[in-house]
Amino acid sequence: MLFDVQLLRKQGLRLPRSQWDLPLRGTFRITEMDRDNNNFKRNLVKIDLWAAYGETRMRGLATLADPVLLPYEGEGLLIAGTELQCTDGGRKVWEHRQVWLCQPAAGTEAEWTRALYQRTHPET
């Protein structure tokens, strides 16, 4: 199922609605990672947002570690978790709190891609 995902924080700080970027569109994949296969040195659950890229490829859009569902009265889901940000060529890793507002996507991914392109390239 396709979801439109709005990131509600940037570097851990809550964003006012006026500063929200365009939502990301993709599908979720939830995985468990054994403590021997990650840098956290503990068992880990993570959720990845993936988008179709071309005919047979997928590209990762966003990842949350330790996702938790939050109460939400609207249509969709609120998912909170930890987002990692790498700097200095991957030598420094920062952890930030992130919240996703996830709403079922209307239309197909191709229609959304065309609409996104038209919004970001109004001159064409």
pLDDT in tens, 32-68: 988 887 766 788 899 999 987 766 778 889 999 999 9
Residue 98: Cβ-neighbour burial (10 angstroms; 0-12, 13-18, 19+): buried
Q: Is the pLDDT of residue 124 over 70?
A: no
**13 pLDDT more than 80:** yes
Q: What is the rounded CA–CA span in Å between residue 62 and residue 5?
A: 10
> How far, in Å, CA of 96 to CA of 24, rounded?
19
Tokens of 15: 């964003």
Task: Return the ∠ at Cα 112 (arms to 110 and 113), rounded to 5°.
Answer: 65
* The pLDDT value given to residue 7: 95
Q: Check whether 112 has a pLDDT greater than 80.
A: no
